[in-house]
Amino acid sequence: MTEQNFEQMRHAMVVSQLRTTGVNDPRVVAAMGEVARERFVGADKAAIAYADLPLPIAPGRALNPPMVTGRLLTEAQVAPGETVLVVGAATGYTAALLEKLGARVVAVEEDADLLAAGKAAVPGVTWVKAPPASGSKKGAPYSLIVIDGAVEQIPQALIDQLADGGRLVGALIDNGVSRLVSGVRAGGGFGATAFADADAAVLPGFGVPAAFSF
What residues are paired with 127 via a beta bridge?
107
What residues are paired with 196 via a beta bridge?
180
Q: What is the pLDDT of residue 209?
A: 62
Give yes or no for residue 20 having a pLDDT over 80: yes
Instruction: Please state, in angstroms and as integers, the Cα–Cα distance from residue 117 to each residue in 49, 91, 114, 127, 137, following that order.
Output: 16, 5, 5, 11, 23
Q: What is the pLDDT of residue 31?
A: 98
Per-residue pLDDT band at 158 (split at 50, 70, 90): very high
Per-residue pLDDT band at 187 (split at 50, 70, 90): confident
Give yes or no for residue 211 having a pLDDT over 80: no
Give yes or no for residue 181 having a pLDDT over 70: yes
Please calculate the CA angle 163-86-207 and round it to the nearest 5 degrees. Answer: 95
Average pLDDT estimate for 128-153: 97
Q: What is the pLDDT of residue 57?
A: 96
Give yes or no for residue 194 having a pLDDT over 60: yes
Distance, in Å, from the CA atom of 199 to the CA atom of 207, rounded to the nearest integer, reads 18
